[in-house]
Chain A
Amino acid sequence: MKEKTRVEDVDRNMYDFRYDEEGYYKVDKGLTPAIIEQISKEKNDPEWMLQLRLESLKIYNEMPIPDWGPPLDGLDMDNIVTYVKPNTPMTAKWSEVPDEIKETFEKLGIPQAERESLAGVGAQYDSEIVYHNIREEVAAMGVIYTDLESALWGEYADMIRKHFMKLIPATDHKFMALHGAVWSGGSFVYVPPGVKVEIPLQSYFRLNAPGAGQFEHTLIIVDEGADLHFIEGCSAPKYNIANLHAGCVELYVAKNARLRYSTIENWSKNMYNLNTKRALVEEGARMEWVSGSFGSHTGYLYPMTILKGDYSKCEFTGITFAGKGQNLDTGLKIVHTGKNTTSAVNTKSISKDGGLNTMRSSVLVNASAENAKSTVDCASLMLDDFSCSDTIPVMDIRTQSADIGHEAKIGRISDEAIFYLMSRGIPEEDARAMIVSGFADNVSKELPLEYAIEMNNLIRLEMVGSIG
């Protein structure tokens, strides 16, 4: 496990040479097996991984772009190779990072070194050290927490091969196929049977690595009776000049285990976030999602949970905040297969300044899922007259014994409530932020304290335009 995700080591000569010889736009329109082979070679893939990449590429080139969600016109699909080229973020300069992002870093009080790193333009600073310390701490418990590339050659290579893109195959959709072909970076976590990890593990440290935040792959296996909380990302904006993010998260929750997966996504607002996440939950196990989506220009995000084992449970708590120029299509999918399975969904969406929010929930209860229970509760808050919020619930129930509930509420921020707070001396913008934070309260409560504070800061930032 000495190998690290060092995309910056990739030699760009091959690409440069090709541009020189054939011309940039004429040749590099699509992805070719030669490009994939080169990526694979640079990453020191095992042979099976190369094959997986090549198969994924084939699927990618055959599949259509999804046409049922927010428009993807801003993606340069004809020139997809520009998203795939390693080293892209490293070519960026701090001076090229948009002012808006720099200001946000400032307001969130993030130190300069970390800012540059988060923006993907700096050195790795000390995050490696922090990451290393956490790794040692959990390693003492027998937990494996490492980057995926080096794990491919380690003790757990077979386990990875058995699980990698098995839960979410490349055939799932075009961007998953792309991911399969070009994935790079990410985390591998294995928690052995019965081990309860007390501190949350955070992928934040891994994603800081330059270039590792775009097609990263997260594979987590929580073995029987084990317990883990994993936190993905952080609330500071992640800036990447390549504006496509197609990550993949595969979560395996074994018998009687529990996994909590928390995300606060705040990509910069040029990003097309097409992330795919899925969990497979065995008998008596429990999957908990906590999801906050604030960033991105366009988002397609629907974490899926398969309640395979009897008495398995899923709890989903999510919030999406769509502001000016954002079209965020989020939601979730739950499949009940085991008997006596339970799912509880609680989502909030906030739209402001013309932001578009679409909330899709899909609950499938298979005939085998006797006595399944599901409750879905979606609430939307619109902060002005020209923002938009849609709720699209789908329920497919194939057994008589299921107990299903769905509730959707769409509301506006009430003038009376703002006046009430103002009449106590609270400034109007603070009053609005207070009401929105209150609306988001059920999500904040699920987050570790420092993230809850950051999320509230983020809401204030979105609402007020500055942190008071």
Chain B
Amino acid sequence: MSQLLDIKNLKVNVGDKEILHGINLEIRKGETHVFMGPNGAGKSTLGHALMGNPNYEITGGSIEYNGEDILEDNATDRAKKGIYLSFQNPIEVPGITLANFIRNSIDQKTGQRTRIWEFRKRLEETMKILNMDPEYADRDLNVGFSGGEKKKSEILQLLMLNPTLAILDETDSGLDVDAVRTVSAGVKEFQKNEECSMIIITHSTRILEALHVDYTHVLVDGCIVETGDRSLVDKINKNGFEKYMKG
């Protein structure tokens, strides 16, 4: 499979503090990479820097997407190029319904108006996969949604927008067992498309149980300290991050 993302020696600051100290990462089309690590290791920073959050300043290195340098692109451009970030804390936006927002985003990406009936049908089917009450489609974006509903809303948007690279930032955190299973089913649906790649950022492993994983990276203190296959997930599950921590 051909290469999708190529990160070289990426350094990222938040304010004056360097959080990522030179990350190297290659992702090919269809691959799923898991990032694990203790709190504060810089996992979310990596996700936000890839998406183009202006609060995360890139001080060195390069990011190429489909062979193109995307460092100058803002989040809108990167989204249009196929990158998607599922937020750990999705924002509430009153005044626009979830359905209208998704339709608007699809229109922005494709540059044409989506047909309403096809859209509604696809939306309803996708909501079914995620066990979402269809009534949520016509509620304001994330407003008054519970933690679990917000995460489902993120995965719903993922499936509707169908990006080429999905970054899931702690999508499983704060969810009960049933919700994790539902969200995981949604992610699995996304994985069905063999062209689509994923970065799953997590510090638990429940969401990974039913998913295909190609690589696992352990991120500690802003550096990738170990890379392995799926078995690394189970190892960390057993032993934790202790052996990576500086004594």
A residues engaging B (CB < 8 A)?
A: 414-417, 419-428, 434-435, 437-441, 444
Contacts and interface: CB of A to CB of B under 8 A. Distances in A.
A415 B104 CA distance: 20
A424 B95 contact: no
Given A415-B54, A428-B74, A438-B140, A423 B95 contact: no
A421 B93 contact: yes
Contacts of A424: 79, 84, 101, 105, 108, 157, 161
Given A425-B80, A425-B108, A427-B108, A441 B95 contact: yes
B231 interface: no
A409 to B, nearest CB: 13
Interface in B63-89: 74-76, 78-80, 84-85, 87
Contacts of B19: none
Given A423-B51, A425-B76, A434-B93, 10 more contacts: A420-B87, A423-B84, A423-B85, A424-B161, A425-B105, A426-B76, A427-B108, A434-B96, A437-B96, A438-B96
Contacts of A419: 51, 53-55, 75
Contacts of B96: 434, 437-438
Given A415-B54, A415-B55, A427-B108, A422 B79 contact: yes
A443 to B, nearest CB: 11
B147 interface: no
13 contacts: A415-B55, A417-B91, A419-B53, A421-B91, A423-B75, A424-B105, A424-B108, A425-B76, A426-B108, A428-B74, A438-B94, A438-B140, A440-B95
Contact of B93 (A423, A427, A428, A438): A438
B90 interface: yes
B109 interface: yes
B126 to A, nearest CB: 15
Interface of B: 51-55, 74-76, 78-80, 84-85, 87, 90-91, 93-96, 101, 104-105, 108-109, 140, 157, 161
A415 B75 CA distance: 12
Contacts of A420: 87, 90-91, 93
B139 to A, nearest CB: 13
Contacts, number: 71
Nearest to B104: A426
Contacts of A415: 54-55
A224 to B, nearest CB: 38
Contacts of B90: 420
Contacts of B51: 419, 423
Contacts of A414: 91
B53 A438 contact: no
Contacts of A427: 76, 108
Contacts of B157: 424
B34 to A, nearest CB: 21
A428 B55 CA distance: 15
A424 B105 CA distance: 6
A286 B213 CA distance: 63
Contacts of B74: 422, 428
Nearest to B90: A420
Contacts of A441: 94-95, 140
Contacts of A439: 94-95
What are the 5 closest A-B residue pairs judged by CB atoms, nearest first? A438-B95, A441-B95, A422-B75, A425-B79, A424-B105
A435 B78 CA distance: 21
Of A416, A425, A435, chain B has the most CB atoms within 10 Å of the CB of A425
Nearest to B85: A423
A95 to B, nearest CB: 38
Contacts of B104: 426
Contacts of A444: 95
B119 to A, nearest CB: 15
A243 to B, nearest CB: 33
A415 B56 CA distance: 12
Nearest to B101: A424
B105 A435 contact: no
Contacts of A426: 76, 104-105, 108
Contacts of B95: 434-435, 437-441, 444
Q: Considering residues A419, A434, A440, which has the most beta carbons from chain B within 10 angstroms of its beta carbon?
A: A419
A437 B104 CA distance: 15
A323 to B, nearest CB: 20
A429 to B, nearest CB: 10
Contacts of A417: 91, 93
